[in-house]
């Protein structure tokens, strides 16, 4: 729809789009709406960018055909993109090796464990040479607006953003949420820096002194900063970050519970289980048995 609006403001049809599925059959979107399909993926004519959108699951009929087509597309040097969880398919097809990418924050922990050699940044979108990925949701608008900006400049991109009441066009350097508080906008820049550092060091938690030093503050100043803006101590906030990552790993991967504990900075299985129960009201083993 971003491109439709760009065409409208341009007064001509510069952008076009084609829908593709594994076999050329219509598909059902995750919201229940059927989508008319133009081509089977193997018959797709040359386009500028082939985007992958898979909804909430990476398993579907005809997946092997899609992966084969993505590999073939990549071998020919063509551009590939992914919306949200679509990054999984690009990675499975080997088309993100050596590239920066991103994925929705809910799926990032499982992605990093599955593809540890791929640089998944956690930013809202990434454009790395001929690879275009975004975190889904409204970040899809930001990615498409960046493409429009590259083609026609900032004036048109801003005009399209205004059509969607999109107040600020985010850049590739904007991060997705980094903690329980999903929006730290307007809060202390030093607070955001510390929270981002926490999120980047969940497997080997940094000490209070290291966190304070990173922001040029004393430990006591950091404590006051967290209490004033987030009503929680830095230690408790850090623990919540680690336990949220643990829950994502339990839900998204088949990692043994002990490995999940180690990956989130716990050296004791019993302490991990106790902390997890206190945070979420259930033990890690019960989380693993739950189907989502």
Domain locations in the chain as residue ranges: 1-164, 177-291
CA gap 3, 68 in Å, rounded: 28
- What pLDDT was estimated at residue 178? 55
Burial class (CB in 10 A: 0-12, 13-18, 19+), 106: middle
Token pair, residue 168, equals: 């600020």
Q: At what angle do helices 234-252 and 219-230 cross, to 10 degrees?
A: 70
Query: Which of the residues in the chain have pLDDT under 70?
Result: 177-186, 289-292
User: Domain 177-291 is in which class?
Assistant: mainly alpha
- What pLDDT was estimated at residue 125? 95
Is there a common fold for 1-164 and 177-291?
no
Architecture of the domain spanning 1-164: 3-Layer(aba) Sandwich (3.40)
């Amino acid at each position: 729809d971003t491109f439709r609006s760009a065409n409208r403001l341009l007064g001509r049809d510069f952008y076009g789009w084609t829908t593709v599925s594994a076999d050329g059959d219509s598909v059902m979107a995750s919201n229940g709406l059927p989508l008319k399909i133009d081509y089977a993926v193997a018959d797709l004519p040359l386009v500028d960018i082939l985007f992958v959108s898979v909804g909430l699951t990476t398993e579907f009929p005809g997946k092997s055909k899609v992966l084969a087509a993505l590999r073939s597309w990549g071998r020919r040097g063509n551009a590939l993109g992914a919306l949200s969880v679509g990054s999984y398919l690009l990675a499975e097809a080997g088309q993100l090796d050596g590239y920066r990418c991103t994925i929705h924050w809910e799926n990032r922990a499982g992605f990093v464990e599955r593809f540890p050699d791929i640089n998944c940044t956690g930013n809202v979108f990434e454009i790395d040479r001929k690879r275009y990925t975004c975190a889904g949701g409204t970040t899809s608008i930001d990615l498409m607006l960046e493409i429009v900006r590259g083609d026609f400049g900032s004036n048109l991109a801003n005009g399209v953003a205004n059509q969607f009441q999109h107040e600020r066009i985010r850049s590739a350097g904007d991060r997705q949420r980094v903690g329980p508080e999903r929006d730290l906008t307007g809060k202390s820049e030093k607070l955001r820096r510390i929270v981002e550092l926490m999120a980047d060091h969940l497997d080997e938690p940094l000490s209070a002194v290291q966190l304070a030093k990173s922001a040029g503050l004393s430990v006591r100043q950091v404590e006051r900063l967290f209490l004033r803006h987030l009503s929680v101590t830095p230690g408790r906030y850090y623990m919540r970050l680690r336990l949220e990552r643990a829950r994502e790993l339990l839900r998204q991967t088949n990692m043994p519970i002990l490995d999940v504990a180690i990956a989130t900075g716990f050296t004791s299985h019993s302490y991990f289980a106790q902390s997890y129960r206190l945070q979420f009201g259930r033990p890690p083993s019960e989380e693993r048995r739950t189907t989502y």
